[in-house]
Amino acid sequence: MSPLFVKTICSDTREGQVAQDEIMELVEAEGFPMQDQFGIRLALEEAIVNAIKHGNKMDPTKKVQICVEITEESLNVVIEDEGAGFRPEDVPDPTAEENLEKPSGRGLMLMNAFMNVMYEGCGNRVVMRKSRVAEVE
């Protein structure tokens, strides 16, 4: 990966918002369609907030690193926090009837809906990809 954008932020969602806006400027300049921009911004928001809140537990001494690469084929984003990680399969399905009113799990679901998402390390590094062309599932 030869990143176009690299930034290390504190565990502060305001800093996350700034990084998100900077990345979206690049995404827009690279000509990603509006529909994709919507999903990309939402996935970035959810992934950065997860890293800050659930990964680093808002600990001001811990950082979040964000790397973005844009190629002819795709947008690739890596977000890594300094937390203990997690197993995505342990997160309850937020669309199950018994979980519908609970607050957790929807962020991961939205990330998966709008980008291809993988977790690396102990789950503290998320890799998200958005192809420039419609992918066949």
Partner 1 sequence: MAGQRRIDIEEIGDVTIARFVDKKILDENNIQVIGNQLFGLVEEDGRKKIVLDFTNVEYLSSAALGKLITMDKKTKAAGGKLRLCAIRPDIYEVFAITKLNKMFDIRDTQELALAGF
Binding site for partner 1 (CB under 8 A): 13-14, 17, 20, 35, 38, 41-42, 45-46, 49, 53, 94-95, 100-101, 103, 106-107, 109-110, 113
Amino acid (one-letter) located at 121: G
Rounded distance between C-alpha atoms, residue 76 and residue 131, angstroms: 9
72: helix, strand or coil: coil
Tell me how far, at minimum, the Cβ of 71 lies from partner 1, in Å: 25
Residue 60 vs 103, nearer CB to partner 1: 103
Tell me how far, at minimum, the Cβ of 97 lies from partner 1, in Å: 9
Residue 89 vs 101, nearer CB to partner 1: 101
Residue 41 vs 125, nearer CB to partner 1: 41
Tell me how far, at minimum, the Cβ of 50 lies from partner 1, in Å: 9
Tell me how far, at minimum, the Cβ of 113 lies from partner 1, in Å: 5
Strands (E), the chain: 5-10, 63-70, 74-80, 116-120, 125-131
- Tallying the residues shown for the chain, one arrives at 137
Residue 10 vs 49, nearer CB to partner 1: 49
Instruction: For 35-68, give the DSSP string.
Output: HHHHHHHHHHHHHHHHIIIIISTT-TT-EEEEEE
